[in-house]
Structure 1
Amino acid sequence: MAGEIQRIGVLTSGGDAPGMNAAVRAVVRKGIFHGLTIFGIHRGYEGLIHGELQEMSIGSVADIVLRGGTVLKTARSEEMKTPAGQKKAFEQLQKRQIDALVVIGGDGSFRGAQTLAAQGVRIIGIPGTIDNDIAGTDLTIGFDTAVNTVVDAVSKIRDTASSHDRTFIVEVMGRNCGNIALQAGLACGAESILVPEIPYDLDEISNKLKRGHQRGKNHSIILVSEGVGSAFKVGEELRARSGFETRITVLGHLQRGGNPSALDAVIAAAMGGKAVQSLLDQETNRMTAYINQTVISRPLDDAYGTRRPLNRELYDLANELSI
């Protein structure tokens, strides 16, 4: 697939994230602006394998910039993990003479992209996941929106926690990354934040609840990142240690939905535009990255490097402010 780029495919893969549509829109419209033909691939790699490709026009992406989810749909594809599935995906691209592929998703999506790059497909990855767990970029598309969604939910939960003098344990997403819990917890003033990167002591958390109660505090919010374990188990342990009533809320997929924040929409648009520009510049096997408030292109392998550690300074500050 050497030579000048003429036809680009774009897909969203893995978990959906607010801002994916803004990135798709940017890929389509910047591509068309430069005279390229853009194909939308439905249902991620699963759709690619089964030929679910459709040429996109300017109107195809009208009014989607602030829409949540992904208009291209997404799906997990076990077949794409096999050599036979990868061969089918490659053949579908060849059949439509598609020169390059823009993949919007997380690390699993990028691994699928690299199998196509090994077959000669020009690849650009755009990091889209609410977990913000991709190395090589400060932010991934969807993270800021997910944090704001958690803060809004906790604000509502705090109202009922205060009304009933209860401790609420709120479980948030993030896989094995505690960034959502940390930033949302600090933003909403959670009394304790449990993240998988840092050991926690339930006895100390229980003692903190008791100290708060002694000075007249009648409710508490504890955020638990899903990588830590079950919020229900944490709630049972704290009730046994402190004697206080606990209630559990698992926010779950609520965090993936909704309109993207302005920050996510801007980052997504910039990344989509950068992806097309990188292909026009004859780059391949690259990813877009948000570094120091600027979108750049860097090697796709950087996505599998050492992930930026959890911000311990913010974590310690959250604990100091919740005495």
Structure 2
Amino acid sequence: MSAVKSIAVLTSGGDSQGMNAALRAVVRSGLFHGLDVYGVQRGYQGLLNDDLRPMDLRSVGDIIQRGGTILQTARCKEFMTLEGQQRGAEVLRARGIDGLVVIGGDGSYQGANKLSKLGIKTMGLPGTIDNDIPFTDVTIGFDTAVSIVVDAINKIRDTMSSHERSSIVEVMGRHCGDIALYAGLASGAETILVPEVTFDLNEVAERMKTNFANGKRHSIIVVAEGAAKGDDVSQKITEISGIEARVTVLGHIQRGGTPTAADRILAGRLGDFAVRQLLEGNSGKACGVVNGELTTTDIELVTSTKKAFDMDMYDLALRLSQ
């Protein structure tokens, strides 16, 4: 006997490319296994408003290639309270919904954990471009975001080379520098600044000055927003080296657009896996991929653990930037 007969799915927090692909996988896997499936509009706010709608095969047709989320997403302060969490659980029970799949980042996982403690069977899927969720090698949307940044840097490098200038590219990542690290490595950036590693802008400026003196005619610095603001870095670099450093802030362009094949496949695997875990009676888990294998981890452990920064990758980028 299945542990669940009816499930709901919601997307919460910041959107990421591949959320629609994950939603599609949850809905179609649920229907394949004979479950009733509901979509929750606008995340936890929609849950409190009882804004749920039945999902069928056609409701998730032609969305695998679309960025954003057709269910939309919203912040919900009310759900941070015990009263709000209890209301959310009551809405699901009143509709006869046994399980909930939450697609989002750390804050979304916090909500799923609270519902789990109130008796709702929950599964979390890591949907965030920041790649800051522990116990999974990669999050849904990260690969696409990195690809967008690399493409932008390629174009910026063309014009910087033509005009013999330096460029500072500010990317997303308040607490996690993975986008800056991976995009910087993939694009051959000379300097990568992340919140996890201390840095000295005097040293950065002096190295740039030396490189230009040795015949280099352009330089790319990638900075995560949580490490420093691009304008502050530019001002300091110019003051020390006398080299003009133009700033490009990529902003929300990193969260939009068509997901890469890697993100679509990751979303499909995780969405189907989450449904199968609920069918087996599991709850309060976060789904992930470790060394290519699908895994689950207690969601409370995930929310209480900070993801380790990959210093080996950072050191590699440093060696190759010389």
TM-score normalised per structure 2: 0.97
Match of 2:249 in 1: 250
- In structure 2, the CA distance between the partners of 1:308 and 1:91, relative to structure 1 (3 Å rule), is closer
User: CA contact under 8 A between 1:196 and 1:228: conserved in structure 2?
Assistant: yes
Offset from partner CA, 1:148-181 (integer Å, 9 cap, x none): 1100011111111112221111111122111110
Q: Give the C-alpha shift of residue 84 in structure 1.
A: 2.2
SS at match of 1:296: strand
Q: RMSD value over aligned CA atoms?
A: 1.3
Q: Give the C-alpha shift of residue 3 in structure 1.
A: 7.6
Q: Give the C-alpha shift of residue 305 in structure 1.
A: 4.7
Distance 2:108 2:166 in 1: 38
Matches within 5 A, 1:223-238: 223-238=222-237
Q: Give the C-alpha shift of residue 57 in structure 1.
A: 0.3
Distance 1:254 1:73 in 2: 17
Aligned pair count reads 322
User: CA contact under 8 A between 2:285 and 2:296: conserved in structure 1?
Assistant: yes
Offset from partner CA, 1:106-163 (integer Å, 9 cap, x none): 1110111111111110000111100011111111111111111100011111111112
Distance 1:218 1:3 in 2: 64
Q: Give the C-alpha shift of residue 279 in structure 1.
A: 0.5
Question: Is 1:68–2:75 an aligned residue pair?
Answer: no
Identity, % of aligned positions: 51
Match of 1:46 in 2: 45
Match of 1:315 in 2: 314
Q: Give the C-alpha shift of residue 293 in structure 1.
A: 1.0
User: CA contact under 8 A between 1:195 and 1:227: conserved in structure 2?
Assistant: yes
Match of 1:203 in 2: 202
Aligned residue type for 1:5: V
Offset from partner CA, 1:182-235 (integer Å, 9 cap, x none): 110010000100011111111111111112111221111100011112111111
Matches within 5 A, 1:230-309: 230-309=229-308
Offset from partner CA, 1:62-95 (integer Å, 9 cap, x none): 0111111111100111111112221221221122
Match of 1:191 in 2: 190
Match of 2:10 in 1: 11
Distance 2:3 2:233 in 1: 56
Distance 1:68 1:113 in 2: 23
User: CA contact under 8 A between 2:146 and 2:183: conserved in structure 1?
Assistant: yes
User: CA contact under 8 A between 2:285 and 2:297: conserved in structure 1?
Assistant: yes
Runs of 4+ in 1 over 2 A off after TM superposition: 304-309
TM-score normalised per structure 1: 0.97
SS at match of 1:39: strand
Question: Is 1:122–2:129 an aligned residue pair?
Answer: no
User: CA contact under 8 A between 1:80 and 1:86: conserved in structure 2?
Assistant: yes
Distance 2:16 2:8 in 1: 19
- In structure 2, the CA distance between the partners of 1:4 and 1:320, relative to structure 1 (3 Å rule), is closer
SS at match of 1:222: strand
User: CA contact under 8 A between 2:24 and 2:60: conserved in structure 1?
Assistant: yes
Distance 2:32 2:66 in 1: 22
Match of 1:110 in 2: 109
Distance 1:118 1:308 in 2: 24
Q: Give the C-alpha shift of residue 308 in structure 1.
A: 3.9
Match of 1:27 in 2: 26
User: CA contact under 8 A between 1:136 and 1:302: conserved in structure 2?
Assistant: no
Offset from partner CA, 1:238-285 (integer Å, 9 cap, x none): 110110111111111111111111111111100000000000000010
Match of 1:216 in 2: 215
Match of 2:167 in 1: 168
Distance 1:4 1:179 in 2: 37
Distance 2:156 2:32 in 1: 46
Distance 1:19 1:205 in 2: 36
Q: Give the C-alpha shift of residue 317 in structure 1.
A: 2.0
User: CA contact under 8 A between 1:274 and 1:297: conserved in structure 2?
Assistant: no
Match of 2:142 in 1: 143
User: CA contact under 8 A between 2:12 and 2:108: conserved in structure 1?
Assistant: yes
* Structure 1: segments with no counterpart, 5+ residues: none
User: CA contact under 8 A between 2:171 and 2:180: conserved in structure 1?
Assistant: yes
User: CA contact under 8 A between 2:104 and 2:125: conserved in structure 1?
Assistant: yes
Question: Is 1:156–2:192 an aligned residue pair?
Answer: no
With 304-313 and 293-302 compared, the bigger mean Cα shift is at: 304-313
Distance 1:92 1:122 in 2: 14
Match of 2:57 in 1: 58
Distance 1:302 1:63 in 2: 35
